[in-house]
Amino acid sequence: MLLPNQLPLRDIVVIELGHSVAAPFAGQIFADLGATVIKVEKSSGDDARGWGPPFWEGAASLFQTLNRNKQSVVCNLRDAQQLLALKRLIHESADVVIQNLRPGQVAKLGVDAKTLRAEKPELIYCNMGAFGNKGPLKDHPGYDPLMQAFGGIMSTTGEPGQRSVRVGPSIVDMGTGMWAAIGVLTALYQRKSSGSGADVDVSLFETAVSWMSVFACQYMSSGEVPGKSGSGSASIVPYKSYLTEDGELVVAAGNDALFQKLCVVIGMPELANDPQYIDNKSRVLNHKALYAILDPVFLQRPSDEWASILETAGIPCAPVNDTAEMVNHPQTAELGLIAPVPGTEMRMVGLPITLNGERPTPYRAPPVLGEHTEQHLFSTAAAAD
């Protein structure tokens, strides 16, 4: 296990003016990699502390899993003395500021990039907005489901002919957190040679559009608007989930050789030479007819039996696991993806990164609201006056 003083970002201080999911996820990436991440919260705390049930050891489990390894200070940004204390902390200690407050709020408070970097040019300041820093919607707020809708993701998710469906995980929020981390790490690397900080801008909308890159390219090249493909793909066939005798199994016969093997496995070798299915282009054009043949076949055996047959033939497949099956799978355990949080009964999914074979793991419990206010800003007695 990597100890905090062995982690690569141990000398970096990040101030997280963030709430909900996107900025806290970005902050947690830095915290997991060893940075001192100081989370600035209002007196009632990040709203995500109450986003339950379920709750886990004092706060919503959603909050806990996004805020491990951090420190928490309470600061009323509308109180002049408390705001001054925060600015002092940034000026004296911070390498990075990450913020996802309402559009225009940081400028009104004087904790925006222009103001802070005028006093501290080496500061790296990351804005995490909704629609970006320009354009007709730049001042609009945004949330993950809104961006999955507005960015086109929901239009491609779900079964054909059915209502659009939101992807379950907060892929836009968390993706924006990832892009924020990538942008800030790039700026930190650049600062080594230039000595100067940077303004880093990411947004939920830009993240949503980036996840739609393939669909957008397909539309721009063909003029056809991509629709819903259920569990499958509009460009690769056969490549989807099938109901089995006892569950659901995804089979990815993603090229001609794999399709030929699949035809043999299901006892229909002649399908591979049928002009309707001879190559991927033909299979895509005739996917409804092909799936009408394959769907009943997979209903004839249980998932485990099919998986064994397909894997023996070298055909990629996987059961559709629920969360419990994923969490408790031996592969998850072997990779050390879930680790205990010291001093608690909690376990959490760690970073999907290993460094020289070691995965950064939780080393500090998620902070109690305001736990580090006195350490970093002012005494709790002064804050109450």
Per-residue pLDDT at 382 exceeds 90 = no
274 and 367 in one domain? Answer: no
**Residue 381: which pLDDT band, with cuts at 50, 70 and 90?**
very low
CATH number at residue 173: 3.40.50.10540
Kindly report the number of other CB atoms within 10 A of residue 172's CB atom.
31
> For the segment 208-225, what is each residue's pLDDT rounded down to a tens digit?
999 999 999 999 999 999
21 and 45 in one domain? Answer: yes
Q: Taking the model in full, what pTM does it have?
A: 0.93
If one compares 61 and 141, the residue with the highest pLDDT of the two is 61
62 and 123 in one domain? Answer: yes
Whether 206 is covered by a domain: the verdict is: yes
The per-residue pLDDT for 385 is 43
173 and 118 in one domain? Answer: yes
308 and 161 in one domain? Answer: no
The per-residue pLDDT for 359 is 94
Last-in-domain residue among 264, 291, 319? 319
In this structure, are residues 172 and 207 in contact, taking their beta carbons and an 8 Å threshold?
yes
Last-in-domain residue among 276, 293, 319? 319
Whether 227 is covered by a domain: the verdict is: no
Per-residue pLDDT at 383 exceeds 60 = no
The per-residue pLDDT for 3 is 77
Exposure letters 252-269 (e unless 16+ CB within 10 A, then b): bbbeeebbebbbebbeee
364 and 276 in one domain? Answer: no
Whether 325 is covered by a domain: the verdict is: no
Nearest C-alpha neighbor of 212 from the set 225, 197, 196, 194 = 225
Whether 363 is covered by a domain: the verdict is: yes
When pLDDT is averaged across residues 94-119 and rounded to a whole number, the result is 96
When pLDDT is averaged across residues 284-309 and rounded to a whole number, the result is 97
Q: What's the mean per-residue pLDDT of the chain?
A: 95
When pLDDT is averaged across residues 242-246 and rounded to a whole number, the result is 98
Q: Give residue for tokens 């939920």.
A: 204
Last-in-domain residue among 275, 293, 319? 319
Contacts of 15 (CB under 8 A, 6+ apart): 38, 40, 86, 89, 90, 94, 96, 97, 98
338 and 314 in one domain? Answer: no
199 and 72 in one domain? Answer: yes
The per-residue pLDDT for 378 is 79
Per-residue pLDDT at 380 exceeds 50 = no
In this structure, are residues 339 and 361 in contact, taking their beta carbons and an 8 Å threshold?
yes
Q: Please report, for residues 230, 251, 292, 321, the alpha-carbon distance to residue 309 in angstroms, rounded to integers and kept in the order given.
A: 25, 12, 21, 19
In this structure, are residues 183 and 203 in contact, taking their beta carbons and an 8 Å threshold?
no
Per-residue pLDDT at 201 exceeds 80 = yes
When pLDDT is averaged across residues 352-377 and rounded to a whole number, the result is 95
182 and 312 in one domain? Answer: no
Whether 225 is covered by a domain: the verdict is: no
Nearest C-alpha neighbor of 290 from the set 369, 232, 365 = 232
Whether 224 is covered by a domain: the verdict is: no
Length of the chain: 385
**Residue 379: which pLDDT band, with cuts at 50, 70 and 90?**
low
When pLDDT is averaged across residues 110-115 and rounded to a whole number, the result is 97
The per-residue pLDDT for 322 is 96
**Residue 191: which pLDDT band, with cuts at 50, 70 and 90?**
very high
When pLDDT is averaged across residues 286-314 and rounded to a whole number, the result is 98
The per-residue pLDDT for 4 is 81
Q: Quick one: 343 exposed, middle or buried, by C-beta within 10 A (0-12, 13-18, 19+)?
A: exposed
Whether 111 is covered by a domain: the verdict is: yes
When pLDDT is averaged across residues 179-202 and rounded to a whole number, the result is 98
Residues of the domain holding 273 = 239-243+248-319
Whether 229 is covered by a domain: the verdict is: no
62 and 199 in one domain? Answer: yes
When pLDDT is averaged across residues 246-273 and rounded to a whole number, the result is 97
The per-residue pLDDT for 71 is 98
When pLDDT is averaged across residues 129-156 and rounded to a whole number, the result is 96
Q: Which residues are marked as active site?
A: 173
341 and 298 in one domain? Answer: no
Q: How many domains does the chain have?
A: 2
**Can you tell me the distance from the alpha carbon of 249 to that of 244, in angstroms, rounded to the nearest whole number?**
7
297 and 261 in one domain? Answer: yes
Percentage above 70 pLDDT, the chain: 98
CATH number at residue 271: 3.30.1540.10
Per-residue pLDDT at 311 exceeds 90 = yes
When pLDDT is averaged across residues 123-137 and rounded to a whole number, the result is 96
The per-residue pLDDT for 153 is 98
